[in-house]
Amino acid sequence: MAKGVLLVISGFSGAGKGTLVKRLTEKYDEYALSVSMTTRNPREGEQEGISYFFVSREQFEQTIAENGLIEFAQYCGNYYGTPRAYVEQQLEAGRNVILEIEIQGATNIKKLFPESCLLFVTTPTAEILESRLKGRGTETDEVIAKRLARASEEAQGMDMYDYIVINDDLETCVDEVHALVDAARREPVRMKSFIEDMQNQLMGYSKGE
């Protein structure tokens, strides 16, 4: 069976990343969402093993020492990392594994797994981003201003991604992401055994010349 695609999804806060990922996994069976490990405290409503695996610094460092993470980063004084076993098992089983991680983690993944597919999710305009952040009604003006300032920094890294996904209409965006991943599955790097098999089959003909 062909291996799945390691799919990294980053994007501005407010661009609809979370909703996009949720819809993608609901609509298509072949996606698995990786749950990260972190040393930060759970926020209200967050669930162990669903939002994150919440661990102590000692446990996190132990996991690093055991080579149990495929990447990790420090962010605002806490560790965040991607557990190795789940990602490897799901990719072997032919499923596309989604990592919803920030830009530094995405850079590390691309170095470690050059065949990974990096998507950056954005709104069509900055104005729409601002109005979506305000529309949530959950954040103060100060937090919104911080997130927009951060978006401005993150925008500097957009061109290192493989694809920019403009989240205007959710369903269109979900199907577009799925089409991009389907195309990635046809890249020769993921079709090695098919290529070898085809080359071997055709060898018989070249000998018979």
Can residue 36 be called a binding residue for ligand 5GP (CB under 6 A)? yes
Nearer to ligand 5GP, 5 or 87 (CB): 87
User: CB 54 → ligand 5GP: shortest distance, Å?
Assistant: 11
Rounded CA separation 157/138 (Å): 27
86 touches ligand 5GP (CB under 6 A): no
Task: Closer to ligand 5GP by CB, 73 or 126: give it.
Answer: 73
Taking CB under 6 A as the binding criterion, the range among 100-108, 119-127, 140-148, 192-200 that sits at the site for ligand 5GP is 100-108
Give the residue, chosen from 23, 40, 95, 190, that forms a contact with ligand 5GP under the rule CB under 6 A. Answer: 40
- Whether residue 90 contacts residue 4, with contact meaning beta carbons closer than 8 Å, is answered with yes
- Contact indicator for 115, 130 with CB cutoff of 8 Å: no
Q: How many residues bind ligand 5GP (CB under 6 A)?
A: 13
Binding region for ligand 5GP (CB under 6 A) out of 54-62, 101-109, 139-147, 199-207: 101-109
**Binding test (CB under 6 A) with ligand 5GP, winner from 39, 63, 82, 90:** 82
Which pair of tokens denotes residue 49? 């093993």
**Strand-pair category, 117-122 with 163-166:** parallel
Q: Is 154 in the site for ligand 5GP (CB under 6 A)?
A: no
Residue 133 in contact with ligand 5GP, rule: CB under 6 A: no
Q: Which residue is nearest to ligand 5GP, using beta carbons? A: 105
Residues forming the site for ligand 5GP (CB under 6 A): 36, 40, 71, 73, 75, 80-82, 100-102, 104-105
